[in-house]
Structure 1
């Protein structure tokens, strides 16, 4: 690299450090030292290797850059300023009320693909983007900037193994090995070889460099883009707070604005106004897309017994035939969740993520960035392992589709480790989330298709065992709706159920009717958003609501109903799984948990 280019890169890196200090000083908080360590790395990337059109952030030919170490946001925003995307005035609004420049990057900025800041997520999401790039046959590259502290996260190694085994050469991880975490030294400090051995074991091409030498950085980035058949990790030895004696390689400076910012700026050579002309992609890319057609959902006859998981699988395959943008990611349980129907019909759009639920969800988020409609499918209980990724998908406002099967005690003899009993509460808490729980096969098929175009994180809960088909084929079930299954003017209570408990509620209503006790039954298939109007009408007319759910009492259907009708003050009785189940038949499980038809009958009688 010519001497004048090296001089420019050094000056640009100094500008990025100065602007990181200035932004943090204006905010009175932030992470300038974590930004300063990676300034040389990003100066070279932006100047020489990144292909990105800031005027067209949705250009499919653009590279992707993920700041997995999202706390280094001052550096990212300083880069945006150097690239002309934001002004100096906006840079100095960092962390202020109403600013787009939040403490950690979010998708409020059009050049940020996913919200970051929860460490260990950037590489797994980047792997999903790289998978999508391969599927699209587009020559875009994914760059992920990571800190060394977050390499302690297990999710990083789920991603490393997947990228390595799949040979994803279109992703490069740049690790800012500055040796210092939040409270002290990292596990391996500056031992780049320790990290190289670990990544090498997963099949990665490893490059060890001085992270403050522009020439070495340039070589490593070129090497990464030109490497074939395997991903690359650049392990860059850096110094936290580089360039300022007060904080360089010193403990106790993490997450704090510098005490003497003016002195630090002077030490760095003062403010500069350099600009970077980031290379735009060469030509327009046309991502490969699969064809589609008419949607022909499977149909099930009223009275037959079909598991909702089976209907989901068949509907998913039909949806894939109708829509070429649908992809499915499996956590090595497709034969049980019935997602294998999609795998058989559309193998090129089915991705086996193995038993790595964090990578499963992260890959769905990454593929969604590229415009695909991902369905990530596993047991409901196992999605708890990936909850931070689900939570951050909500922060990113990423419309992914999650499907959890084998929910509740009704799975039978497998025991409590396999029973999803917390998933409704978990998913209801996600920002902008949608929670759907079908009770029969035709409803499950309709909701599977309905999910495809929803905004936000959408969750479908399916049941292991076969249940009676009660709805005719072809009916629609709008999100936010419900269905009245029993109602009469003499009703003295309304039973609110979802999924498998709908059938117990109907059976209970029939038993009570024989004794002259009228009760309504409401199928609340949409738990979030919930049909508040239907609940309020039931509460007003009968005055008593009984919720019954195959879930813990905390945060599930019962609490959703209480939230909707709390202002009216009706009596609400919650039947839910309160004990610790063991192994038993599905019928015995429902009885033991006191959520079967006989328990509902007893609850109504107690209430009245």
Structure 2
């Protein structure tokens, strides 16, 4: 296209954004209008994408980090011929693919956006895939708003991209000066953004975001820059082209007051179609094939930390599956992810202590077809909860692993203890939560995670625990194991992870005093084994849950929900970490929290006495 045609295409995108928001009665047209010229130049001159084959390995990737500007993205899709007029004007309606903020319901959208500050971190994962794994020349473009540059996650991504020399990554910042409630921190001071990005090692280009010729040159400069990611800092005006709204406060997230008048002022409806450049031919290759993993095997009676079994099993999964990758938050020696690093260094990504980038990078790698395992301390995954939440919105398939869970870690103290992680991960839509108690169980579940959908979470422990299962035992997701069972059981103890061993010891002591206790290893916390729990409730009438986790949202709640369907419920009691731990030995921690064998035996005795009475 000639530059006059590019300017006209920008006007078309503005008009379509106005039309879509007006038809919906909601949306963000002014935020779309500021970036329309940037999108027009990218679509017509620089993006290489086959809209008929969105999975083409050579396609460039476009991430709309400022997801509220979805009318612009959908207008761009209309210009490319991917959506028609009818679908565009069905924006934000029930059943429409064109949601208020984009999601992968659309085949050209890799990741859901709308929670600001996430587009660039996810794009870094995609760019790493292109650079280190796919080794294809596709580029990753991110259209960001200036308001979200205040998010700390953006700067985690900025540093990570520069450190890895991601010259296949281009960030376009739409500096339109206005946020939701008023001016942004730096308003139109492009140099303020440039100084910060330069300090992190980025190449920057400052342009008038409404000068299509300058924008075109900026994209070309980004493509020719090597060893550095590029940020195009574009000075724009919110609501560009309509005098009643241009650069005016108080209009964020609102349709234009008079859409017809605005469309006329913008030159009317247009129907230009852009022939987008085809991607280059390319084929992704993997270093090894896709075979059945052979998990490590452990002898019953040995003491092995589940984190150790995880590391060894992960390396075995990596040897069998060439698309398995691992991300670490600088704790690989503790989580044992370093075992994978030593055997498959080309598929190991060090994110340093940046948990938001850790999860976002996993989402980006998953979007490129890889199977990521992201590991850190369970306590620190809470820092990335919003990224986990949005990963579910993105329909991403990622494996999260939290080690050093619970008070059982011992003297490090409460800052290092994951005591909220089960609740956090259980609350995520479609998630799977697994909490193994021994090495063979951990190895099997680590392997099984690779074939699951959605967000998968594995909770591992720091200290060694007895191996109680044989190496050939199966552990289906959604199942459980009944470890103690008698016809005259008076109570059922439900435990997972470290408390399984405490429950077994308590059950043996109780049996000596004439109280039979059933013990269930609830290794699958979500989905939970409702059938086994219902059977136990019907036969024993009493359930005691024991968990190394806060009572809110943990195993006790998972079990209680089984009996929330209106049927007669068993008598229930819960042991969980209700105190604020300090520093102590693991044994002292479990006792102080009231979740050790002594506490379990005492609770069962009291519970059974009350039921008999």
Same fold flag (TM > 0.5): yes
Q: Is the 8 A contact 1:27 1:92 kept in 2?
A: yes
Q: 1:426-441, aligned counterparts within 5 Å?
A: 426-441=424-439
Note if 1:291 corresponds to 2:309.
no
Distance 1:228 1:154 in 2: 26
Aligned to 1:573: 573
When the two structures are aligned, how many residues end up with a matched partner? 604
Give the deviation of 1:227 after TM superposition: 1.1
Note the 1:417-496 alignment, pairs <5 A: 417-496=415-494
- Give the whole-Å Cα distance in 1 for the aligned partners of 2:377 and 2:340: 17
Tell me the CA shift for residue 7 of structure 1. Answer: 1.2
Distance 2:69 2:62 in 1: 13
**Contact 1:406–1:418 (CA under 8 A) maintained in structure 2:** yes
TM norm structure 1: 0.99
User: Out of 304, 309, 323, which is 1:306 matched to?
Assistant: 304
Shift of 1:550: 0.1
Q: How far apart are 1:474 and its partner, in Å?
A: 2.1
In structure 1, C-alpha distance between the alignment counterparts of 2:44 and 2:586, rounded to whole Å:
62
Is 1:599 the counterpart of 2:596? The answer is: no
- TM-superposition CA deviations, 1:395-440 (whole Å, max 9, x none): 1110100000000000000000000000000000111110000000
Q: How many angstroms does 1:571 deviate by?
A: 1.4
SS at match of 1:289: coil
Unaligned runs of 5+ in 2: 609-613
Q: CA deviation at 1:296?
A: 2.1
| Matched-pair contact (CA < 8 Å) for 1:535–1:565 | no
Distance 2:460 2:266 in 1: 59
1:225 aligns with 2:230: no
Which structure 1 segments of 5+ residues have no match? none
Contact kept? 1:143, 1:174, Cα under 8 Å: yes
Q: Distance in 1 between matches of 2:363 and 2:553?
A: 25
1:236 aligns with 2:197: no
User: How many angstroms does 1:316 deviate by?
Assistant: 0.5
Structure-2 separation of matches of 1:260 and 1:518 = 76
Match of 2:500 in 1: 502
The separation in 1 between residues aligned to 2:44 and 2:497, in whole angstroms, is 55
State the distance in 2 between where 1:432 and 1:58 align: 24
Q: Which digits, 9 at most, give the CA deviation of each residue in 1:352-396, with x for residues without a partner?
A: 100000000000000001111110000000000111000000111
Query: Which residue in 1 is equivalent to 2:19?
Result: 22
SS for the counterpart of 2:162 is helix
Equivalent residue of 2:532, what SS?
helix
Structure 1 partner of 2:611: none
Q: Which one of 345, 364, 367 corresponds to residue 366 of structure 1?
A: 364
Aligned with 1:108 (options 94, 105, 116): 105
Per-residue CA distance 1:323-371 (angstroms, 9 max, x = gap): 1111110000011111111111111111110000000000000000111
| Whole-angstrom CA distance in 1 between matches of 2:197 and 2:88 | 36
Aligned equivalent of 2:154: 156
1:521-543 alpha-carbon deviations (Å, 9 max, x no partner): 00000000111111111111111
Cα distance in 1, alignment partners of residues 253 and 294 from structure 2: 55
- Matches of 2:294 and 2:476 in 1, distance apart? 18
With over 3 angstroms needed to count, the CA separation of the structure-2 counterparts of 1:379 and 1:260, relative to structure 1, is: same
Shift of 1:566: 2.2
Q: After the TM superposition, which segments of 4 or more aligned residues of structure 1 sit over 4 Å from their partners? A: none
Match of 1:168 in 2: 166
CA distance in 1, matches of 2:537, 2:245: 63
Give the structure 1 partner of residue 380 of structure 2: 382
Name 2:77's counterpart in structure 1. 80
Aligned with 2:26: secondary structure?
Answer: coil
Q: Which residue of 2 aligns with 1:557?
A: 555
Partner of 1:62: 59
